Amino acid sequence: MTNYLNLREGKFPIKLETSIEGLSDGLNLGTLKNPLNINLSIEKLSSDLFSCKGVIDSCFLNTCQICLKETEINVTLETDLIIKDEEVLLDFSNKPDESHFQNLKYFQIERLVEEEICLNYPSVIKCNTEDCSDFTKPEKEEKLQPFKKIRDLLE
């Protein structure tokens, strides 16, 4: 199900309080345990510039990369980003910001949410149980000195 918003028309701010049942299959983020809770507000800054602030809350089930047990990953994001038209290639402003590029006439909330979750999803999945042992540092090996015996004989 894809819902489109036309950000070029309408009354602002746009308040979105909704939930999404699933994400795209190709994201490989594990299984979505609960629907995504979305609470966003989109404000118009100029004709091609919008501000998006709010919270995205989700819970995934994925496999621990150490003990291979299923674990919950809670992802709660506080977003504060700028939405720009995808036709804009270069931004000459000096202020660094988090930008999301999309067609403003056919704006997809699901695409924005998926991008934010992918950017903030942990790269290493570890459970928090005591059974799951973390990798330990290898013991420091003694440095090999092949000519030490010869030096000892000469002394």
Token pair for 4? 């489109």
CB of 107 closer than 8 Å to CB of 124: no
- The answer, yes or no, to whether residue 145 has pLDDT greater than 50, is yes
Q: Which residue has the higher pLDDT, 151 or 59?
A: 59
pLDDT tens digits, one per residue of 29-77 = 888 888 889 899 989 888 888 888 999 998 988 888 888 888 888 889 8
pLDDT at 137: 56
What are the residue ranges spanned by the domains of the chain? Answer: 4-133
Kindly report the pTM of this predicted structure. 0.70
pLDDT tens digits, one per residue of 96-114 = 567 778 888 888 888 888 8
Computed over its alpha carbons, how large is the radius of gyration of the chain?
25
C-alpha 127: how far from its chain's center? 18
Backbone CA torsion sign across 24, 30, 35, 37: negative
Calculate what percentage of the chain has a pLDDT beyond 70.
Answer: 83
pLDDT at 55: 93
Report the C-alpha gap between 148 and 146 in whole angstroms.
6
Distances (CA, A) of 78 to 51, 69, 81, 136: 13, 29, 10, 34
CB of 73 closer than 8 Å to CB of 62: yes
pLDDT at 39: 92
> In this predicted structure, which of 42-46, 77-81, 91-95, 117-121 has the lowest mean pLDDT?
91-95
Q: Terminus-to-terminus CA distance in the chain, angstroms? A: 83
- The answer, yes or no, to whether residue 1 has pLDDT greater than 50, is no
CB of 50 closer than 8 Å to CB of 43: yes
Question: For tokens 């919270």, what's the residue?
Answer: 55
Distances (CA, A) of 130 to 73, 125, 141: 17, 15, 28
